[in-house]
Structure 1
Amino acid sequence: MQKKHLAAMCALLVAFSAFMVLPPVFAEEASGSEQETTQGVWRPLNRLKLLIYILRNGEPSTLTGEPVALEGHILVMDLSGDLENVILPGKWVLNGQMITLKELYDEHMSGNEITIHTLKLEHVQDTKTVTVHFGYKITVGGSTAEAVLPFNIKVP
């Protein structure tokens, strides 16, 4: 009788150990939908959480100034002597044609005053303020470029 109980306890202990160790191992191996970045893995769920946070907490704002530089998806703007960074999507619709952010910057923004409509997030602490602008509409001259997004942003 004792040997049967001891064998059953050992089997339960092995099974319990397997259930504790294997799920995290399989979770790390099954990374088919993750995107590799230079900083590491960016999971789609994190991207969705960020998007929901921006939509809930972002305040509409308008920036008017001259573009200084474009690095990736970040546009640096000169706003009366202050430099402000704006995060922009990669695809835009301008005059009924789809263009990339780089084309929009090179062909339409350089040397012109532009107006960017953004969702602004601001975090204030005692010694610092962090501000992030997410752009969705750009007006250059008389033309307006709208960001290609999976949703529409309309501000009353």
Structure 2
Amino acid sequence: MAQKHSDPNSKLIAENRQARYHYAVEDTLEAGIMLHGSEVKSLRIGGTNIAESYASVENGELWLINGYIAPYKQAKTFGHEERRKRKLLVSKRELSRLWNATAREGMTIVPLKMYFNERGMAKLLIGVAKGKKQADKRATEAKRDWDRQKQRLLKQSHH
């Protein structure tokens, strides 16, 4: 999904950069997030972390679990719990697809990016993923190292 960088409203808030290392992402999906006002304001100033979070289907609803949104200092009385469960909004069809994927062996719903879209709505890009084994992680590292090495060699040969 290409984001328009010229749009002042669309803005990347948080990225789970470890996700693609720990998981093989097979499919991605955009979900809305139900937030309190103080959470939205906190996101605007960039106080969030989705690295240790995950999503799960419970009682026919999709939830973001353990996503951290920093407390918003100006919201004195109506603050929010930093790591509360937050409901994710997807269509019924997408929800059943996610439920089937997690009911099958080893699929996990991993939050990849949190951002504001063009309309200024907070969105979460989630991936349906399979956990990588240690050997797969090593293969990912080896490929990354080789790609780096290749770039270095190409740079040297051009000078």
TM-score between both structures, scaled by the size of structure 1: 0.28
Which protein has greater RCO, CA pairs closer than 8 Å, 6+ apart?
A: 2
TM-score between both structures, scaled by the size of structure 2: 0.28
Q: Which has the higher strand share?
A: 1
Which of these two proteins has the greater Rg computed from alpha carbons? 1
